[in-house]
Amino acid sequence: MSTTRLSSLLPDLSPWRSSRDFRLLFFQGAVTFFTSFMAMIALPLQIKHLTDSPLAVGAMGAVELVPLVVFGLYGGALADAIDRRRMIMLSEAGLGVLALVLLANSLLPNPLLWPLYVVAAGVSALAGLQRPALDSMMARIVPHEQMTAAAALNALRYQIGAIAGPALAGLVVAYAGYPAAYGITLAGFVLSVILCTRLAPAPPSPDAERPSLRGIAEGARYAWSRPVLLGTYAVDLAAMFFAFPNTIFPFLADELDAVWALGLMYSAGAVGSLVLGMTSGWTSRVRRHGLFVVCGAAVWGLAIAATGWFTDIRVVLVCLAVAGAGDMLSGLGRATIWNQTIPEELRGRLAGIEVLSYSVGPQLGQVRAGTVAGWTGTRSAFWSGGLMCVAAVAALSMALPKLVTYDADTDEDALRRRAEKGRAEKDRAAKESDPFPTPTS
């Protein structure tokens, strides 16, 4: 392969070079993801250790669901009404407090079960508040034409944490115990808050409305009126509900007599995503991002189904890696469409709906996977969910054809947002070059 072809596959670093705040958020997110994965692995493992029940582990999804729905929608309204940097920083501080609770509970002679569910609900609430602010920040700090590249870099950052976090968490829990895992999580959130203080303020627009149910409903009406947006939400929700089996990985590892590979099972999907991310340069040149959403979700479902069919742990890990690559491809399409088409004044509220689309699905998916595993067996929970995912994606593609035909160069909303952002960037450049403009009458 020539040097030119190789360089065209490498990640597009344009957002990194053009935006200081993007670089800060990149590092902040890397720290948060890495340390959060320590707790994300340790928490279900500790519940399994205390109960030895797949239903008890799957119940985490039920506990997290209501706070995520309520605070995700309210967090979207808040992100349109107050400084987004402040929201991110306070949420990170709150997550640090919850990590401290987990640490204190793990140090008890007989750790309690109920605080684990309370913390899971609290993490879900804070994530619902924070994610709209984080997601809506991207469109403000990154140029319009660099949205796909920014989404790829953010996903790459996430996958690095998703690989290192679970792998290290398994070792830390096995050799140092739960207190060490939760202590590392706490330290990560402290560092994250420090990085957030260096971000530039992100105040709301001067005519921003106070958070209200009416404002949330306005955002929901806008999403419902846009078949492309509606399709991104529906496809992701279906894919995660039917084919998100992470909470029953410990039981699959037991059945395959491969407990040693549990950490690898959690990180295999991230490996597949990382491979795609490291060769994502070509995605910046693609304009049909709806195809990313549909095809990626279909690959995810097929790979999860295959995970339940095979008994060789090596093949299972490959299937999970392929699933991760499909999920990342779908995620790149969703993030690009969202950032290219949503108006600035609705971005926070639509980000709140986005949080529901890619978070409620996994929470419900945990409940589905744990329930099916308890009724029919662990492996059937994998293959049945994967097949239903593929069927749902096919049905949604036929019901919402505008998602499949979306083109960033011809879509009316994308063209409108590009023009608006271009005008805003020109106005900002003019103010910076002339700090004392002549008043007009």
pLDDT tens per residue across span 294-351: 999 999 999 999 999 998 999 999 999 999 999 989 988 988 888 888 887 787 888 8
Distance of alpha carbon 87 from alpha carbon 28, whole angstroms? 14
**Pairwise pLDDT comparison (97 vs 40), residue with the higher score:** 97
Give residue 430's pLDDT band: very low, low, confident or very high (50, 70, 90). low
| pLDDT at res. 424 | 64
pLDDT surpasses 90 at 186: yes
pLDDT surpasses 70 at 436: no
pLDDT surpasses 50 at 440: no
The amino acid present at 109, given as its one-letter code, is P
Could you give the percent of the chain with pLDDT greater than 90?
Answer: 30
Averaged pLDDT score across all residues of the chain: 84
| Residue 272, CA distances (Å) to 267, 300, 319 in order | 9, 11, 9
pTM over 0.85: no
SS (H, E, C) 136-161: HHHHHHCCHHHHHHHHHHHHHHHHHH
pLDDT surpasses 50 at 227: yes
| pLDDT at res. 317 | 94
Quick one: how far is CA 325 from the chain centroid?
14
The mean pLDDT value for 113-135 works out to 89
Under 8 Å between Cβ of 354 and 298: no
Give residue 2's pLDDT band: very low, low, confident or very high (50, 70, 90). low
**Which contacts qualify for 412-415: CB closer than 8 Å, 24 or more apart?**
413/226, 413/228, 413/340, 413/341, 413/342, 414/340, 414/341
Q: What are phi and psi of 88, to 5 degrees?
A: -65, -45
pLDDT surpasses 90 at 63: no
**Pairwise pLDDT comparison (354 vs 227), residue with the higher score:** 227
**Pairwise pLDDT comparison (391 vs 340), residue with the higher score:** 391
Give residue 180's pLDDT band: very low, low, confident or very high (50, 70, 90). very high
Give residue 425's pLDDT band: very low, low, confident or very high (50, 70, 90). low
| pLDDT at res. 426 | 67
The mean pLDDT value for 42-64 works out to 83
pLDDT surpasses 60 at 441: no
Q: 31-45, 152-166, 251-265: which has the minimum mean pLDDT?
A: 152-166
Tokens of 56: 């008890």
pLDDT surpasses 70 at 438: no
For residue 305, give the nearest of 384, 241, 361 by alpha carbon.
384
Torsion sign across C-alpha atoms 273, 274, 279, 281:
positive
| pLDDT at res. 192 | 92
For residue 24, give the nearest of 169, 202, 163, 276 by alpha carbon.
202
pLDDT surpasses 50 at 123: yes
The region, left, alpha or beta by phi > 0 then psi within -120 to 50, assigned to residue 133 is alpha
